[in-house]
């Protein structure tokens, strides 16, 4: 039984875009609509202006976000949305890893332009995690390719699981968890989210969610 059809009752259609064919299922179509709506919402909204109260002082400070900074972060948010559409629709496992890398680097871009030291420190550590992660991410895909001889999810769906594929899946899981800043990395994320300019940092949560959803589907398809 084909795993793709098992997971999402039927395939709506293939997007003939170049040599690698993304496909749409009812599930991924819902995800795409969510991403598009959310990205438009974020791109149109203005950055929040936050007041900071400190203990031991009788002052309330208001913070501002520079116009240039907001512009750059908006650009990175939109790029992240485009990359996320790729993540949820792609029909090729190597393209999936590339899109996840693009999501990771745009996430860093959203935070790299903030002028608070603790945010920059946390973003730097997250960047280190991402660099470490590229080894298991691409290594896992290389292992799957070397074992099965194909990268297409449609073909991989028909191949039964075996121990070497399981190692590849595990490496893919570890790599994508690091690139998409999923569960164990909330510590670095929390420091980064203390940055001002609220609407754009929501993109990071959305990207974590979407990468996670798609990753689970791919792990099921490959196995």
Partner 1 sequence: MIGRILNSLAEPKNVPKVFSVAISIILLFSLTMVFELNPNQLYPKPAPQVQVELAKQNIDISYNLAPYNRGGLPLEPDNRGIVRSQYQTPYEGWITAYLTPFSQFLRDITYHFGTTILGHPGGILDEVLYYTRGYDTILESTILFTAFTIASWVILNITAKERDKKEK
Residues that bind partner 1 (CB under 8 A): 17-20, 68-69, 72, 76, 79, 86, 92, 94-95, 98-99, 101-102, 105-106, 108-109, 112-113, 115, 121-122, 125-126, 128-129, 132, 135-136, 145-152, 163-164, 167, 170-171, 174, 178, 184-185, 187-188, 190-191
Nearer to partner 1, 28 or 101 (CB): 101
Nearer to partner 1, 28 or 148 (CB): 148
In whole angstroms, the minimum distance from the beta carbon of 70 to partner 1 comes to: 12
Q: Which two tokens stand for residue 193?
A: 């989210």
Nearer to partner 1, 104 or 199 (CB): 104
Nearest to 96 by CA among 23, 29, 162: 23
Please name the residue that has the structure tokens 């895909």.
141
In whole angstroms, the minimum distance from the beta carbon of 58 to partner 1 comes to: 29
Instruction: Mention every residue, 6+ apart, whose C-beta is less than 8 A from residue 40.
Output: none
Asked if 67 contacts 194 with a C-beta cutoff of 8 angstroms, the reply is: no
SS3 content of the chain, % helix, strand, coil (to 5): 70, 5, 25
Asked if 165 contacts 119 with a C-beta cutoff of 8 angstroms, the reply is: no
Nearer to partner 1, 7 or 170 (CB): 170
In whole angstroms, the minimum distance from the beta carbon of 204 to partner 1 comes to: 15
Nearer to partner 1, 167 or 209 (CB): 167
Please name the residue that has the structure tokens 């099965």.
148
Nearer to partner 1, 7 or 167 (CB): 167
Asked if 192 contacts 122 with a C-beta cutoff of 8 angstroms, the reply is: yes
In whole angstroms, the minimum distance from the beta carbon of 209 to partner 1 comes to: 20
In whole angstroms, the minimum distance from the beta carbon of 185 to partner 1 comes to: 6
In whole angstroms, the minimum distance from the beta carbon of 129 to partner 1 comes to: 5
Instruction: Mention every residue, 6+ apart, whose C-beta is less than 8 A from residue 156.
Output: 93, 144, 148, 150, 221, 222
Please name the residue that has the structure tokens 């074992």.
147
């Amino acid at each position: 039984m084909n795993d793709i059809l098992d997971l999402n009752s039927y395939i709506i259609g293939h997007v003939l875009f170049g040599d690698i064919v993304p496909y749409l299922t009812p599930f991924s179509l819902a995800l795409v609509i969510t991403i598009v709506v959310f990205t438009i919402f974020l791109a149109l909204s203005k950055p929040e202006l936050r007041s900071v109260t400190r203990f031991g002082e009788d002052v309330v400070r208001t913070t501002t976000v520079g116009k240039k900074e907001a512009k750059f972060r908006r650009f990175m948010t939109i790029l992240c949305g485009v990359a996320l559409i790729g993540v949820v629709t792609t029909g090729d496992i190597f393209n999936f890893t590339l899109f996840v890398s693009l999501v990771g680097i745009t996430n860093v871009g959203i935070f790299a332009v903030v002028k608070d030291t603790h945010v920059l420190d946390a973003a730097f550590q997250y960047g280190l995690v991402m660099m470490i992660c590229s080894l298991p991410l691409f290594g896992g895909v290389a292992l799957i390719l070397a074992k099965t001889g194909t990268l297409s999810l449609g073909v991989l769906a028909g191949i039964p699981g075996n121990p070497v594929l399981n190692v590849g899946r595990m490496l893919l899981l570890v790599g994508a968890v690091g690139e998409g800043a999923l569960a164990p990395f909330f510590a670095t994320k929390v420091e980064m989210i203390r940055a001002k300019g609220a609407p754009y940092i929501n993109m990071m949560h959305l990207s974590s969610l979407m990468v996670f959803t798609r990753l689970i589907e791919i792990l099921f398809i490959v196995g």
